Each structure stands twice: as C-alpha cells, then as structure tokens.
Amino acid sequence: MERNQRGFSATTTHGGPPLHTVEPLARTMFNRLFAVVYTCGLIVHFSHHAQNLFQSRSILSFSIHVSLLLSDLVLAFMWATTQALRMCPVQRRQFPENLEKVVRRSEFPALDVFICTADPYKEPPITVVNTALSVLAYDYPTDKLSVFVSDDGGSALTLFAFLEAAKFGRYWLPFCRKNDVMERSPEEHFMASDHDHWSSETREIKTMYEIMKTRVEFVVQSGKVGDQYISSDEERQIFEKWTDGFTDQDHPAVVQILLDNGKDLDITGHSMPNLIYVSREKSMTSHHHFKGGALNALLRVSALLSNAPIVLTLDCDMYSNNPRTPHQMLCYFSDTTIIPYHLGYVQFPQRFKGINKSDTYSCEYKRMFHINPMGLDGLRGPDYFGSGTFFLRRTFFGGPSTPISPEIPELRPAHIVNKLSKSQEILALAHFVAGCNYENNTNWGSKIGFRYGSLVEDYNTGFMLHCEGWKSIFCNPDRAAFYGYAPISLVDTLNQSKRWDIGLLEVAFSKYSTITYGVRAINPLMGLAYSHYAFSPTWSIPITTYAFLPQLALLNQVSILPKGSESWFLLYVFLGVGAYGQDFLDFVLAGGTVDRWWNDQRMWMIKGLSSQLFGFIEFLAKHIGISTISFNVTSKVVDGEQRRRYDQGIFEFGVASPIFIPLVMTSMINFVSFVRGVFGILGWKDMEGLVMQMFISAFVMVNCWPVYEAMVMRIDKGKMSGKVVVIAAILTFALYESASLILNK
C-alpha cells in the first residue's frame, strides 16, 4: 500500500480558527535604510583604500595597505552577508490550542524521533535516557510515536541504560499524563518541582528513578554489564552480541526493539510508544560519515519499522521541555495552505540550560539560533540546526517536484508499514540496511538522506534541501521546546567552534559553495545568508590583522591608519561604530543583556584568533592530504570545580592547548604597544597619526582582561598554563623583533 506524497492528509483551515500567523519585524525599514547609508560609507572607504594603494611608495607601505585592504574587504563582505539576514525578518506565532479544533487527534500523522549518541563516557547514558523519556512522554497518540536511538559508540552500557529506561517508562508515562507534567525529562522534573509539596506518588516514582539512575551509573562506571544486572535470558542473549572483537569502531549492526507498541503496555494498561535501539555496523575500512551517517541509518531502519511521515532529530542532550511541541509543529504541517509552500522542515531554536548570567563563552548563540533564523524565515526559511527539527520524511528523497526513489521499495517515504513488525524477515532487513557497506553505490549522502562531505552535516543538509526547492519555518514559542547543555570551558567551546569552522569551510570551498551555487540554486539573498556562515571563518583574517599589525606599527612609530584630524578618521569611526552598534541593537532587541553582548563580541575576537585560525589550518591540511578530520564529540560531563568557576564567570583556560597561543600573543603585543604608546605621548612627534592604533590596542586590551588575569593573577586550576605563556612569549618576541627589522628599514 502507498500513500500520498506527504504521507498524511492535511486539514484545510479555511473558516476554522487560525493555526499560525506571521508578521514582519518592526525594524525592517530601519535596517534597509541603514544598509543604504552604510553602503555609501563603504564605497568611499574603499576608494580611499585604492588611493592609498596607488600612492604607496615602498614595497613595505604597499604590503601594509594590501593587508588592510584585504581585511576590510573580508569585513565588508561579512557585513554584506548580514544584510541578507536583515532585509525581511519575520516573527511567527502558532496557536496549538486551536489544533485539535481543526484536526482530530486520531488523524495526527505518525512521528519518528531520532536521538543520536556517540560515546558513553562523554555523553552519559543517563542523560540520553532522560532525553528519550522526555519525548516518549510526548502528549501524542502513543500508537503514532516511535523513538529510535542511534548509538555510534556501539556500547552495551548505553543499551543497558535503555533497557532500564523501557522498564521505568511504564511508570513514568502514566505519571506524566495523570499529573500533566511539563518537564517530562525525569531528571529535570525532579529538579524543577518543589520537594516540599511532593505527593507520595511523586516520592515513589522519584525513588524508582533514583534506583534506575544508580544502576545505570554504576554499570557505566564499572565499564561492563555485570551478571547481577541482567534479569532474563532474553536480555542475556542481547548482550551476547558484545563478543570480544566488538569495539566501537568495528562491530556488526545491532537493532533491538525495546518497546513494541503493538505489545507493550504501561502500568495503567495504555499502549507504550515504540522504543528501538540501533547501533549501525562499523568497520575500520569504511567511512561512517559521523552523525550524518548515523541519521541515514536511522532513516532506513525506521522506514522498515514505522516509516512515519514526520521525523524529529535530536542530539542526545536535547530533552523536551514541552510535551505539546508536536502540536506546535502540526500547526504548520497540518495547514493545507502550506502544501504549495513546499515546507520541508520546522526548526525550533536550540536553547541551553546552565549558561551563566553573563554567558562567558557566548554559548547561547543568540544570533545563530534566534536572530538570524528570523531573517532567514522571511526568505526561504532557517538553516537546519541539527537538533529540534521536524522534517517531512519525503524531504530526504529529492526535491518537491523531483522525487528520487531509494534502492529498495520498503524505504520509500510513501511505503506503509502496517504495524511495528518484529518478523524475522523485517529485522534481518533492518540489520542489512544498518550495514556499513549498504550505502556503497547509492544516492545516500549525496542526493538522498542527510548529506555528507561536511562536519556540519546539519548546515550542509539544510542548505542542499533549500537548493532543491524545499522551504523551512522557524518556530520559536515562548516556552522552550527543547533544552540542551552548552560547553562550560573555553577549550571545549573553541574545539566545538573549530569543528564547525572546518565543516563550514568544507561547504564554502566545495562544488556546491553557498556563494557560487547557492545564490543561483536558491536565490541571491539566501545564498548570501548561507554564506554568512560558510565564510565566517574568514573573519580570522581581519581579526588577526587588526590584533597585530597596528600594534607592531605603533611600537615602531609607524602610522598606518588615518590621523585624528582627517575626515577619513571619522569614516573609520562611523563604519566601526555603525556595524558594532547595529549588532548591539539586534542583540538587545532579541532580549540580550549588555553584559552578554560584551562577552559575545569578545568571543567573536577570541574565535578569530583561535578556533577559526586552527580550523583553517586543519581544513588545509586535510585538503592537501596530510591529515584526516574527525568529529570530536563535545563532552557533556561536568567537573564540579569547573562548574563553580563557570558560575562565577571566571574564564577557564586550564589545559595547555596550542589553541590559546595566538590569543596570549595578542594580549602581550597589545599590552606592550599600548604602554609604549602611553610613554610615547610625551616624546613622539607624530602622535596624532597613532591615535587610532592606540585606541585599537586599548580596546583589545580591555577584551583581553581575563587573559591577563589568567596569566598573572590566578592560582586555581583554570589559570593559563605556564607552557602556553612561555611559548607565546618567545613567539611574541620573535614577531616583535622581525617587525622592527622590517618596519625600521
């Protein structure tokens, strides 16, 4: 049997109560006007640059001007890309309370949830279990809900945690229903609710949860599932798959149905949703394409077992914070007027728990997950964030009017699965499609499914879907739909950013670059908006240049920027303050605080001097074939002491990582040049020509304050490692000496 293209029928909303509305943001007109004024400023600025270039009389001054020109060109290009995000921002509202007036609950489309995990030590199984329980307990018809867990760590520990979760879920789901619990992740629920008013039922279920948690954590700590934890022969058989040769990088596929909707009931007699554990086959000899590969394996396995027309992807730490999120998503997918719109996915923002008051590492990503998506939403829709995304399954199989069929008919999005079928045949097929050679010579990863070729498989996939003609919608309800955890140390944040930067560069310099292919395949504004991310690592060029060049010149009394009395000086100020000011405005209007904005701009500089630079190097190294790149999973485990420092807003350096070296060098050069400049005020002749260079040094110094503190004033474990300081000092000295040689010729 087959069904229509979308996989379910939508209800017309004509005459009925509205399901959603959309409005342009109030500042749109201002944004457009400002863009015109700023563009004029840029034209004049670059004509001045050209003049400087032609007038320069030595190779030295020519090269200085070329560096400044190149830096300013990158800044101007990046500014231009932000304009695409500012031309038509919109804000949507949805009315989930009206949904059931328009669509009967029994007509809700089936929903498959994909949760990815990759490492039981960096991603504690109890966290993943909480995420899974939070969605298993969605306020959704249980016979239409299936949760698939992908375990790229191939770990018996994770599977054990899920066996436990399946048992606990039989109590947890009816408990949530009966008490209309909002936080359906048990961990969060018990943390958020007030213990003094707990009923005996709540206390009981809390005790059950604690017992399960202790068992899971004990097993993870001991590294194996001991005999005393196995309660039946059936379970023993499952764990027998973990033979001696079974490693996370080399093992057969494991597909295990833990809860079967057709059979398993909760303690009140309601049927349970499906819960399926999948660990795709891995082998040392075939590339597994990281998370993208895992998601494609889930797309196939789920196609055989439930094939729901709607698919939600979640990171292992992104638990549901609202049981009625699917209702919000259906406000869009159930609206027939949306069909000609070719809606491919509905994206919810990624939000984070546990970020400190001033968001020291700017991990809220307000711009990426909140401000920019509104801008994209007014064009063709937001990019894909990797988590919190409801896709139409059909979206993965070719463009809206150019469908592509998978190799075997059972995988087609229109194929109907009657019941979750445990038949041996289907299970054997599920293991087969989860095999590591299954994708050889197929369209998976290139034309169907999640796309390969970039470490940011989410961004890349969303981009390719937009190129194929799909659109997306940004759904940002007041109550967060999901919460996850952000890194709380600088090195973790920078390593995560570096991975993203490498992935973005892979897209920027591919055959399907956003700037060459994207502007044609989607439209110029979308191409530019996507380029805002793809080319963001190039920010490291101006950031590094402005962190060193004016300062080295200042140290040698060489003026390279306009004098305080020239009108060019005012233009510089206008361009700088204008860009910063508008950025500030966007940030604050989206509910950000001044404190957080300050830290955000600081992180922008820090990343330009660390993750982006290192990302570039690793990207190049991979391109010329001297190294391979890998997906370094962000740790979700927190050290207590680190947490305390983070909560106090103290920067965490700690480890001796080379990624800090350029940053420490920057703090040294700027300090020395500023101090030298202050003494120069008395003796130097041409101080006026150095005013702007002095100002830049001062500004960088203020931003580097935590670095100075970490180098000289701290004794805790998060201070800057001595090794980094020594290496940076030697390199700074070498840089200073060579600059003096060149500049004083």
Ligand X SMILES: O=c1ccn([C@@H]2O[C@H](COP(=O)(O)OP(=O)(O)O[C@H]3O[C@H](CO)[C@@H](O)[C@H](O)[C@H]3O)[C@@H](O)[C@H]2O)c(=O)[nH]1
* Active-site hit among 112, 151, 152, 583: 152
For the CB of residue 154, give the shortest distance to ligand X in the complex, in Å. 11
> Which tokens go with 673?
């040049």
For the CB of residue 32, give the shortest distance to ligand X in the complex, in Å. 32
What is the Cα–Cα distance from 723 to 134, expressed in whole angstroms? 45
Dihedral pair phi/psi, residue 403, rounded to 5°: -65, 150
Which of Mn ion, ligand X, none does residue 117 bind to, with CB < 5 to 8 Å depending on kind?
ligand X
Exactly one of 310, 560, 633, 707 binds ligand X (CB under 6 A); that residue is 633
Interface segment toward ligand X; rule CB under 6 A; list 47-55, 139-147, 254-262, 496-504: 496-504
Q: Within a 10 A sphere around the Cβ of 36, how many other Cβ atoms?
A: 9
CB 449 within 8 A of CB 283: no
Half-sphere exposure of 150 (CA within 13 A, CB side): 27
Binding residues for Mn ion, total number by CB under 5 A: 2
Which of Mn ion, ligand X, none does residue 152 bind to, with CB < 5 to 8 Å depending on kind?
ligand X
> Which tokens go with 68?
């400044």
> Which tokens go with 267?
């303690």
Which of Mn ion, ligand X, none does residue 718 bind to, with CB < 5 to 8 Å depending on kind?
none
Which of ligand X, Mn ion, none does residue 700 bind to, with CB < 5 to 8 Å depending on kind?
none
Which of Mn ion, ligand X, none does residue 355 bind to, with CB < 5 to 8 Å depending on kind?
none
Q: Within a 10 A sphere around the Cβ of 617, how many other Cβ atoms?
A: 13
Q: Within a 10 A sphere around the Cβ of 623, how many other Cβ atoms?
A: 12
Beta strands in 389-546 (DSSP E): 389-392, 398-399, 402-403, 471-474, 482-485
Please say which residue, 523 or 634, places its beta carbon nearer to ligand X. Answer: 634
What is the Cα–Cα distance from 561 to 678, expressed in whole angstroms? 18
Which of Mn ion, ligand X, none does residue 387 bind to, with CB < 5 to 8 Å depending on kind?
ligand X
Q: Within a 10 A sphere around the Cβ of 97, how many other Cβ atoms?
A: 12
Dihedral pair phi/psi, residue 142, rounded to 5°: -65, -25
For the CB of residue 315, give the shortest distance to ligand X in the complex, in Å. 4
What is the Cα–Cα distance from 9 to 291, expressed in whole angstroms? 31
For the CB of residue 456, give the shortest distance to Mn ion in the complex, in Å. 12
Q: Is position 538 an interface residue for ligand X (rule: CB under 6 A)? A: no
Interface segment toward Mn ion; rule CB under 5 A; list 8-16, 178-186, 313-321, 363-371: 313-321
Say whether 291 counts as a known binding-site residue: yes
Tell me the DSSP string of 10-57. Answer: -B--TTS--SEEEEE-TTHHHHHHHHHHHHHHHHHHHHHHHHHHHH--
Say whether 266 counts as a known binding-site residue: no
CB 372 within 8 A of CB 85: yes
458 is catalytic: yes
For the CB of residue 401, give the shortest distance to ligand X in the complex, in Å. 29
DSSP reduced 3-state for 110 = coil
Exactly one of 500, 572, 587, 653 binds ligand X (CB under 6 A); that residue is 500
Q: Is position 721 an interface residue for ligand X (rule: CB under 6 A)? A: no
Dihedral pair phi/psi, residue 331, rounded to 5°: -55, -30
CA 271 vs CA 106, 212, 220: distances in Å: 15, 22, 30
Interface segment toward Mn ion; rule CB under 5 A; list 310-318, 434-442, 459-467, 526-534: 310-318
Q: Is position 634 an interface residue for ligand X (rule: CB under 6 A)? A: yes
Please say which residue, 254 or 272, places its beta carbon nearer to ligand X. Answer: 254
Please say which residue, 315 or 506, places its beta carbon nearer to Mn ion. Answer: 315
User: Nearest to residue 589, comparing CAs of 26, 16, 6, 14?
Assistant: 26
What is the Cα–Cα distance from 681 to 121, expressed in whole angstroms? 56
For the CB of residue 140, give the shortest distance to ligand X in the complex, in Å. 22
Q: Is position 455 an interface residue for ligand X (rule: CB under 6 A)? A: yes
CB 693 within 8 A of CB 554: yes
Of residues 19 through 48, those in contact with ligand X by CB under 6 A are none
Q: At what angle do helices 611-623 and 490-508 cross, to 10 degrees?
A: 50
Interface segment toward ligand X; rule CB under 6 A; list 31-39, 116-124, 272-280, 637-645: 116-124
Q: Is position 152 an interface residue for ligand X (rule: CB under 6 A)? A: yes
For the CB of residue 315, give the shortest distance to Mn ion in the complex, in Å. 5
Exactly one of 38, 242, 290, 736 binds ligand X (CB under 6 A); that residue is 290
What is the Cα–Cα distance from 431 to 409, expressed in whole angstroms? 16
For the CB of residue 119, give the shortest distance to ligand X in the complex, in Å. 7
Q: Mask of contacts with Mn ion, 628-667, x by CB under 5 A?
A: ------x---------------------------------
Task: Give the dihedral of Cα atoms 177, 180, 184, 187; nearest 10 deg.
Answer: -110
Say whether 123 counts as a known binding-site residue: yes
The beta-carbon contacts of 61-67 under 8 Å, at least 24 apart in sequence, are 64/549, 64/553, 64/560, 67/545, 67/549
Exactly one of 344, 386, 462, 527 binds ligand X (CB under 6 A); that residue is 386
Exactly one of 458, 468, 506, 600 binds ligand X (CB under 6 A); that residue is 458
Q: Is position 494 an interface residue for ligand X (rule: CB under 6 A)? A: no
What is the Cα–Cα distance from 666 to 654, expressed in whole angstroms? 18
Q: Is position 373 an interface residue for ligand X (rule: CB under 6 A)? A: no
Q: Mask of contacts with ligand X, 320-359, x by CB under 6 A?
A: ------------------------------x---------
Please say which residue, 298 or 665, places its beta carbon nearer to ligand X. Answer: 298
Q: Is position 123 an interface residue for ligand X (rule: CB under 6 A)? A: yes
Q: Is position 116 an interface residue for ligand X (rule: CB under 6 A)? A: yes
In sequence order, the 6+-apart residues with CB closer than 8 A to the CB of 546 are 71, 696
Please say which residue, 183 or 315, places its beta carbon nearer to Mn ion. Answer: 315
Which of Mn ion, ligand X, none does residue 392 bind to, with CB < 5 to 8 Å depending on kind?
none
Exactly one of 356, 496, 514, 673 binds ligand X (CB under 6 A); that residue is 496
600 is catalytic: no
In sequence order, the 6+-apart residues with CB closer than 8 A to the CB of 210 are none
For the CB of residue 499, give the shortest distance to Mn ion in the complex, in Å. 11
For the CB of residue 436, give the shortest distance to ligand X in the complex, in Å. 13
What is the Cα–Cα distance from 136 to 145, expressed in whole angstroms? 7
Residues that bind Mn ion (CB under 5 A): 315, 634
Per the annotation, binding residues are 122-123, 152, 291, 315
Per the annotation, binding residues for UDP-alpha-D-glucose are 122-123, 152
Per the annotation, binding residues for Mn(2+) are 291, 315
Residues that bind ligand X (CB under 6 A): 116-118, 123, 150, 152, 290-291, 294, 315-316, 350, 386-387, 455-458, 496, 499-500, 503, 631, 633-634
Residues with a known catalytic role: 152, 458
